[in-house]
A and B are shown apart, each in its own frame.
Chain A
């Protein structure tokens, strides 16, 4: 079986390096949540750190501890916490924690850790997911300052996340963010000097197109994985390369139909053939072949006219190869975004890391 996923670490490094150069002097935090967008956490984290990122956004405490266990010592940021999240090992392992509420702050401060927890206080600037409501912000900052005086926490950052709804909406969100930072400053959080918290707001979209939002650091995710965060330009147009390829063997030939050895259980979205879908193609024998059916374990594709296909031939489902569809193409065909195609890419196929 040669059906497989290939992760192009050289492309990850090139993308991260280009994004880090663009964001400088702001620093680059590399987002490796969801198993590094489906690429595999540790090899991809190391590639990004080699290329100019100096911290990692890992989503949650278990992922942070997995990175620490692998011997990676850079700053780590975890911000999505459940009712059963144990904060003590994270604090003792120097994992920076996003904090959205007094309740989370209390749990972190009373976790029994041996050192002060490094917390990044989150203000909601319009996305309405987590983050403190502006009316609750002074109470959160006040409680954090109090705990800081008692050596339980250190206010290491103030942050939020943009909705990418429109430039005007993002500008309004930046204004709300600045207002929250000003309130923190008036309440006694140092905004100058060595102990000043890191300010961060931008992910890929604003990191590329909204320089004012770069602040102290940009959390780059999807662009580093070779998918454009914009509708009006693709990744190659941004100078980014695709980072993941899926190859599938031909395991059956039936007239003008070929059967490939991957299916929806490998993350191929069946919605390409649904009401919102736009069809799909793969690269087979040098030509594009239309997808006729997405099964659990197989794809049925129309063999292109004038080509000969045999058992064992290799198709490119997606990836940065001449003539092959990209992850972005699949996202468009499936009425979704490249993030979902990557995050769901098969864990059961063999995986090779190159470059």
Chain B
């Protein structure tokens, strides 16, 4: 089952070039991007200070060669550096693209209920795509009937309640096939929703969204 967060390290380098941050905000496993992917790039870029969440991450940071390592959660950290580093602010390039796959496609009539509680009913005959990601993967349930995801060049509304391991897109008459890759957020240059949009739909900051992407979603440099 494809449950993947692609991490664009070129985008990280671009953001670091523009920002020249005084430290790497590596808290919460680099806002969910994977500290092991991000930290060496930042270090090579000349960032020698790092803020992390706990002593285990601090020990790894020292091994990588960071000279100044802070892991004291009682000291408030200005989030604007981290938001910019990970492209979670306007004007910076997003690093994370969250993707899953279509695991079923069905054609249904108008008036059919979708997912738990039938909170959505199809307006007319349409194609529904079932995607193998859910709130256990960190796709917050609040995006039910609010969010959008992207398949093959088009955004589709997320309809019905998000379940633990799956959600449904209403794809109308678009061509969708089992096994198609689905982008939940990221890859905004192609038209997919951004983490900022997903943050708004789910009533949280973009860093809270990305750092909430679950452990069973693998991280891969792209």
Q: Which residues of A contact B (CB under 8 A)?
A: 1, 33-35, 38, 59-60, 80-85, 100-101, 103, 124, 126-130, 133, 163-165, 169, 251-252, 259, 261, 263-265, 267, 269-271, 274-277, 294, 296-298, 335-337, 339-340, 343-344, 347-348
Contacts of A129 in B (CB 8 A): 104, 115, 130, 163, 166, 168
Contacts of B138 in A (CB 8 A): 344
Ranked nearest first, the 9 interchain pairs of A and B with the lowest CB-CB distance are A274-B203, A82-B1, A265-B28, A34-B136, A252-B74, A270-B204, A83-B179, A271-B203, A343-B136
In the bound complex, how far is the Cα of B201 from the Cα of A275, in angstroms? 10
Least CB separation from A276: chain B residue = B203
Known: A34-B165, A165-B118. A80 touches B135 (CB 8 A): no
The residue from B160, B163, B178, B211 contacting A265, defined by CB atoms under 8 A apart: B211
Question: Contact: A128 with B211, CB < 8 Å?
Answer: no
How many contacting A-B pairs (Cβ < 8 A)?
Answer: 156
Least CB separation from A131: chain B residue = B104
Distance (whole angstroms) from the CB of A234 to the closest CB of chain B: 19
Contacts of A128 in B (CB 8 A): 106, 108, 112-115, 128, 160, 168
Chain B residues with a Cβ closer than 8 Å to the other chain, count:
52
For window 151-167 of chain B, which residues contact chain A by CB distance below 8 Å? 160, 163-166
B207 within 8 A of A: yes
In the bound complex, how far is the Cα of B112 from the Cα of A165, in angstroms? 13
Contacts of B13 in A (CB 8 A): none
Can you report 14 A-B residue pairs in the complex whose CB atoms are below 8 A from each other? A34-B164, A34-B216, A35-B216, A127-B115, A129-B104, A130-B104, A163-B118, A165-B113, A165-B116, A261-B73, A269-B204, A274-B204, A297-B53, A336-B141
Contacts of B66 in A (CB 8 A): none
For window 173-222 of chain B, which residues contact chain A by CB distance below 8 Å? 178-179, 202-205, 207-208, 211-212, 214-216
Question: Contact: B1 with A60, CB < 8 Å?
Answer: yes
For window 95-118 of chain B, which residues contact chain A by CB distance below 8 Å? 101, 103-104, 106, 108, 112-118
Question: Contact: B142 with A335, CB < 8 Å?
Answer: yes
Known: A129-B163, A130-B130. A271 touches B202 (CB 8 A): yes
In the bound complex, how far is the Cα of B94 from the Cα of A55, in angstroms? 44
